[in-house]
Chain A
Amino acid sequence: MGKFQLFPVQASTLAPEVDHLLYFLLAVTVFFTVLIFGAIFYFAIKYRRRSENELPHVQHTGYTLEILWSVIPFGITMVMFTWGASIFFTASKPPNNAIQIYAVGKQWMWKLEHLEGQREINELHIPVNTPVRLTMASEDVIHSFFVPAFRTKQDVVPGRYSTTWFTATKPGKYHLFCAEYCGTNHSGMIGWVYAMEPMDYQNWLSGGAAEGSMAETGKKLFEQLACNNCHKEDNSGRGPNLVGVFGKQVQLAGGGVVTADEAYFRESILQPQAKIVSGFEPVMPTFQGLVTEEQLVQLVEYVKSLGPKPGTGPVDNGQKPAPKKSSNAGSTPANR
């Protein structure tokens, strides 16, 4: 048998916040439990039946008590709601300076890839005191990325990107679980998160036998799949020039705009006809079934790396430099 504990370790910035709310809820619920149980025991003893013919005479008129014990609990629950919602809000908005890591869930393993190209299975190395943003995809069914020590959990739904983030505060080795039932070996879809001092993390990053960064791998793939035949950097291709597109508003054929984020890139590769950029013909074939989720994130990372280069002119036909909505910047597909 392992060691016995009552509370899980706190190893992220979120963990103490969640625990403080828990302590508040514990205090409130213990108070009401004692109040109710105490009243029941007290009444049960004090007013026990003493003779068979006894008939209590109590008149109950008005609703003062009911109003009291509806309004007061409601007020308290609104504190719980507001407090809980504010934690949730923070937990849903990755900070802009977060480092990016990708995760792909599949029956029954977690595959993780760092921007620098390091790949891991069922292990995730991260630096402490640095916000980490995870963009996650699933190859098959719904999984859920759960690190109890960080108090974070996010379902990974197939067909879309899900995002979570955390800042580890304590170096150590923490459980990683799949929390959404995903089939036979669900309880085997577990692993470890290694939180390391930033220096150690840098050493670890440079130590691995990475085959080049994700963007580089993505670039190779981009050429292998002949994407570059149409998506040319000089605006002469049959498809839009992708340089500097990431994060911009893109004008669509038939009206409407879309933010060119990870989800839009993913969709445009798998379902190219869904949202055609204004000024282009719907000629792109689908890559559904030809690329894995892992390759998709590499492609996405490559396109993201094509930052705006000064002096390359308009990157999109018909695009106007629309002001970015601040709440959407760095937002995640899952949260929109």
Chain B
Amino acid sequence: MITAAAQEREHYLNASYGLKSWLLTKDHKRIGLLYLATITLFFFIGGAFATLIRVELLTPQGDLVSSETYNKLFTMHGVMMIFFFLIPSIPAVLGNFFLPMMIGARDLAFPKLNLLSWYLLVVGGLFSLYAMLAGGVDTGWTFYTPYSTTYSNGYVIATALGIFIAGFSSILTGLNFIVTIHRMRAPGMTWFRMPLFVWAHYATSLIQVLGTPVLAVTIVLLFLERVFHLGIFDPARGGDPVLFQHLFWFYSHPAVYIMVLPSMGVVSEIISTFSRKAIFGYRIVAFSSVAIAVLGFLVWGHHLFVSGQSLYAGMVFSFLSYFVAIPSAIKVFNWTATLYKGSISFQTPMLYALGFIGLFTIGGLTGLFVAALGIDIHVTDTYFVVAHFHYIMVGGALMGYLGGMHFWWPKMTGRMYPEGWAKLSALVIFLGFNLTFFPQFILGYLGMPRRYHVYPPEFQVLNVLSTAGASVLAVGYMIPMIYFIWSLRYGKEAPANPWGATGLEWQTSSPPPVHNFEETPVVTHGAYDYASLMAEEAEVG
């Protein structure tokens, strides 16, 4: 019950004012919002590049931009979206904000390190962005050698240096989460009482801490070869170009799970809340996150089936890739089973979560196609792969991110977003996404290679469909941007627990007080115990 007195209640947003109070904050919630602003900016920049790509591809000729510019566009799109939007997205914004709250902690284990990791992302992102806009890079986000070391004239090293810097942001965030989960759980918060969002972030953090250093090393080697002409990757200097691909994908394949695991965590929270039921097979879903993180490190070679790695290496990597499909399949089945005999309501977060399952299922199942050696020969480096990974990384990761944003927006800001508009935008995004990327599966199987500025005219119909979808998608992304900002001032005031969710973050006021909880919570039951929650609420009155 909000009274005039309660409205003046101190919380993390009004406890202090001024630029300094934000730029030097050690509050994980404020740092989460700093990340939110940063990655939203990077997302719209990356989106602008995507728009130009899609408009160029309306016609088979290269008539909007030159080939050189087109190559820079898809490079910048990939670099911005992957390294500066998707990898930080859920962990840095929602994880930062809610992971401590969900385990009943006052903050992350290392608040100053947390602030440092935000600065690293900002510096890295702006550095890469400047390098790409000033000089341009045309290597693709994959930086394959020897093109990137010897033949490209762009600002390869400057761009890669930005990624190198941002990598430390990722490592420090992962480290912070791991220590926090181990050391800062509230009394009674045992490992198997933790929300699945926390489990997913634990698994993600393992990848960030173990995988990202390999990317850093790879970038250093790239630097040594490009600047000092050491023969590491360039065969003309005695190097091996395929070695680069091994090193690059050793990080960049697990990086896909950095993007999608947190999203799976979000979806678990949402499905449970809006079905008012514990996640079916909680422990299996928790362990499947860890299994994905571990197995994800063993499958990088499936990016190299036609690159000239040995026949038998290809077979081993294909075999292992099918292993990693199983924990993902388990999650999808278990979410579906959670709905069984639930009490299901369809607010916006739930629409996004169901949308996630739909798109992730298609993305995951098409992963079975590219993992099959015989089919991968044909579809690798075509639009089939482009469609596949967008279904995982946009359909999966981004739908989860938007679902989570809607789910926790009331907690973060103390305001409700407008439900009608939000449902509409969820629908628009879902339809726009499918119209954009489904035709690309067909395009790819027909043989249209990726990264083609000019293409044969028989591919035009499908490209026009895809571009039409992209414009729908662009509108879909603009709507939440507008109403989220609108709601900060005009949105209904949010109660502490608008969804009837069980997580600890909902047991404190919206927006939360500076130290999250008035007193340290004591946990007495599992993560999704709706019966106890409703009994407590009935008692309170």
Give residues in A with beta carbon < 8 Å to B: 1-8, 17-18, 21-22, 25, 28-29, 32-33, 36-37, 39-40, 43-44, 47-50, 53-56, 58, 60, 63, 65-66, 69-70, 73-74, 77-78, 80-81, 83-89, 91-92, 107, 140-142, 144, 146, 148-149, 151-155, 157-160, 162, 175, 177-188, 190, 288, 334-336
CA distance A73 to B442 in the complex (A): 25
Interface centre among A8, A28, A86, A142 (most CB of B within 10 A): A142
A40-B354, A86-B374 given; A188·B151 CB < 8 A: no
Contacts of A50 in B (CB 8 A): 343
- In the complex, whether B138 has a CB less than 8 A from a CB of chain A is yes
Of B262-270, B323-331, B485-493, the segment with at least 4 beta carbons within 8 Å of chain A is B323-331
CA distance A231 to B352 in the complex (A): 72
> Are A77's CB and B461's CB within 8 A?
no
Residue of B nearest to A89 (CB): B311
CA distance A70 to B325 in the complex (A): 10
The B contact surface, by secondary structure, is helix
A36-B361, A187-B451 given; A2·B306 CB < 8 A: no
> Are A155's CB and B343's CB within 8 A?
no
- In the complex, whether B123 has a CB less than 8 A from a CB of chain A is no
Contacts of B527 in A (CB 8 A): none
Per-residue CB contact flags for chain B residues 368-396 toward chain A (1 = under 8 Å, else 0) read 11011111111011100000000000000
> Are B339's CB and A84's CB within 8 A?
no
> Are B151's CB and A73's CB within 8 A?
no
A80-B371, A88-B377 given; A141·B151 CB < 8 A: yes
- In the complex, whether B111 has a CB less than 8 A from a CB of chain A is no
Contacts of A77 in B (CB 8 A): 322, 325-326, 368
CA distance A32 to B241 in the complex (A): 39
Residue of B nearest to A69 (CB): B333
A144-B306, A151-B377, A157-B307 given; A56·B276 CB < 8 A: yes
CB of B151 to closest CB in A, whole Å: 5
A66-B284, A175-B456 given; A159·B372 CB < 8 A: no
CB of A123 to closest CB in B, whole Å: 16
Contacts of A2 in B (CB 8 A): 456-461
CB of B451 to closest CB in A, whole Å: 4
A2-B460, A81-B319, A148-B446 given; A44·B67 CB < 8 A: no
Q: What are 26 A-B pairs at a CB distance below 8 A?
A: A1-B457, A5-B446, A18-B374, A18-B375, A33-B365, A36-B336, A36-B361, A37-B361, A39-B336, A39-B339, A44-B339, A47-B275, A47-B340, A53-B534, A55-B530, A63-B281, A63-B284, A84-B376, A88-B377, A151-B378, A154-B306, A178-B449, A182-B147, A183-B138, A184-B67, A336-B310
A-B pair number, CB within 8 angstroms: 276
> Are A183's CB and B151's CB within 8 A?
yes
Picked from B146, B341, B460, the residue with its CB within 8 Å of the CB of A58 is: B341
CA distance A78 to B323 in the complex (A): 9
> Are A160's CB and B235's CB within 8 A?
yes
> Are B277's CB and A56's CB within 8 A?
yes
CB of A214 to closest CB in B, whole Å: 23
- In the complex, whether B431 has a CB less than 8 A from a CB of chain A is no
CB of B310 to closest CB in A, whole Å: 7
CB of A108 to closest CB in B, whole Å: 10
Per-residue CB contact flags for chain B residues 135-156 toward chain A (1 = under 8 Å, else 0) read 0001010101011001110000
> Are B342's CB and A55's CB within 8 A?
no
CB of A325 to closest CB in B, whole Å: 14
CA distance A69 to B342 in the complex (A): 21
Contacts of B342 in A (CB 8 A): 43, 47, 56, 58
> Are B280's CB and A159's CB within 8 A?
no
Contacts of B534 in A (CB 8 A): 53, 55
CA distance A112 to B453 in the complex (A): 24
CA distance A184 to B137 in the complex (A): 11
A21-B374, A22-B445 given; A56·B322 CB < 8 A: no
A25-B369, A77-B368 given; A157·B308 CB < 8 A: yes
CA distance A139 to B307 in the complex (A): 16
Contacts of A69 in B (CB 8 A): 329-330, 333
Contacts of A83 in B (CB 8 A): 372, 374
Residue of A nearest to B285 (CB): A66
Residue of A nearest to B66 (CB): A184
> Are A146's CB and B457's CB within 8 A?
no
A73-B329, A84-B375 given; A5·B343 CB < 8 A: no
Contacts of B311 in A (CB 8 A): 88-89, 92, 335
CA distance A177 to B382 in the complex (A): 10
A186-B452, A187-B454 given; A157·B372 CB < 8 A: no
Per-residue CB contact flags for chain B residues 428-456 toward chain A (1 = under 8 Å, else 0) read 00000000000000100111011111111
Contacts of A141 in B (CB 8 A): 144, 146-147, 150-151
Picked from A49, A78, A148, A186, the residue with its CB within 8 Å of the CB of B276 is: A49
A2-B460, A4-B461, A142-B147 given; A160·B308 CB < 8 A: yes
Contacts of B377 in A (CB 8 A): 18, 87-88, 91, 151-153
Contacts of A187 in B (CB 8 A): 62, 67, 449, 451-455
> Are A140's CB and B151's CB within 8 A?
yes
Per-residue CB contact flags for chain B residues 66-83 toward chain A (1 = under 8 Å, else 0) read 011001000000000000
CA distance A211 to B113 in the complex (A): 70
> Are B276's CB and A55's CB within 8 A?
yes
CB of B493 to closest CB in A, whole Å: 20
CA distance A23 to B371 in the complex (A): 15
> Are B373's CB and A84's CB within 8 A?
yes
> Are B381's CB and A37's CB within 8 A?
no
State which residues 265-320 of B face A: CB under 8 Å: 275-278, 280-281, 284, 305-308, 310-311, 314-315, 318-319
State the 6 A-B residue pairs at the shortest beta-carbon distance, nearest first. A159-B235, A148-B447, A87-B374, A84-B372, A2-B458, A88-B373
Given contacts A5-B446, A55-B531, A84-B374, 10 further A-B contacts (CB under 8 A): A22-B375, A25-B369, A40-B339, A54-B276, A54-B343, A73-B326, A80-B372, A83-B372, A88-B305, A142-B307
Contacts of A36 in B (CB 8 A): 332-333, 336, 357, 361
> Are A33's CB and B362's CB within 8 A?
yes
A153-B380, A182-B147, A186-B451 given; A78·B369 CB < 8 A: no
Residue of B nearest to A73 (CB): B329
CB of B57 to closest CB in A, whole Å: 11
Picked from A8, A47, A81, A182, the residue with its CB within 8 Å of the CB of B343 is: A47
> Are B314's CB and A56's CB within 8 A?
no
Contacts of B362 in A (CB 8 A): 33
Interface centre among A48, A141, A152 (most CB of B within 10 A): A141
